[in-house]
């Protein structure tokens, strides 16, 4: 959450109800979610029977063209994350809050910040140096 003095508050929450509760209390007008929030054009579900359909959204193709790695939303565990993201979008919009999709890994790649699988020390050093 960011207040009027542009201070940010971060929390770790797990359940959908915890997420919705924080959004309600925050008075936020926009929420960013680190999960796929939509299906590829022409695809109507994440089920196995949709296999012949596209696995990539337009934004995925742009990332791929930029050389940014990501997991397709139709791949194993990404199906669960995508399904949850799509469910949360509907619930959050019912609160009259706009929702945007974010992908911190892409931002890290573009800014030259190592991803967590390469260890947490490098991003911490960047943070300490104020970059």
Model confidence pLDDT, tens digit, residues 38-80: 998 888 888 877 765 688 999 999 999 999 989 889 888 899 9
Average of per-residue pLDDT across 123-127: 55
Cα distance between the two ends of the chain: 22
Partners of 101 in the beta sheet? 33
Q: How many distinct helices (H) and strands (E) make up the chain?
A: 5, 2
Closest of 89, 88, 97 to residue 27, by C-alpha: 97
Predicted TM-score (pTM) of this structure:
0.78
Instruction: Please state the φ and ψ torsions of residue 83, each to the nearest 5 degrees.
Output: -60, -45
Mean pLDDT (the chain) is 84
Task: Report the C-alpha gap between 4 and 28 in whole angstroms.
Answer: 11
Average of per-residue pLDDT across 9-35: 89
Q: What is the pLDDT of residues 101-113, one digit of tens each?
A: 999 889 888 888 8
Instruction: Please state the φ and ψ torsions of residue 31, each to the nearest 5 degrees.
Output: -125, 135
């Amino acid at each position: 959450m960011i207040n009027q003095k542009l201070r940010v508050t971060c929390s770790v929450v797990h359940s959908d109800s915890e997420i919705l509760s924080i959004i309600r209390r925050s008075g936020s007008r926009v929420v960013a979610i680190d999960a796929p929030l939509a299906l590829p054009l022409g695809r109507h579900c994440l089920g196995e029977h949709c296999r012949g359909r596209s696995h990539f959204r337009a934004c995925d193709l742009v990332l791929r063209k930029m050389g940014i790695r990501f997991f397709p939303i139709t791949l194993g565990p990404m199906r669960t994350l995508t399904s949850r993201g799509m469910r949360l979008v509907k619930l959050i919009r019912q609160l009259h809050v706009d929702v945007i999709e974010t992908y911190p890994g892409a931002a890290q790649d573009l800014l030259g910040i190592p991803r967590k699988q390469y260890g947490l020390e490098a991003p911490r050093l960047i943070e300490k140096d104020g970059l």
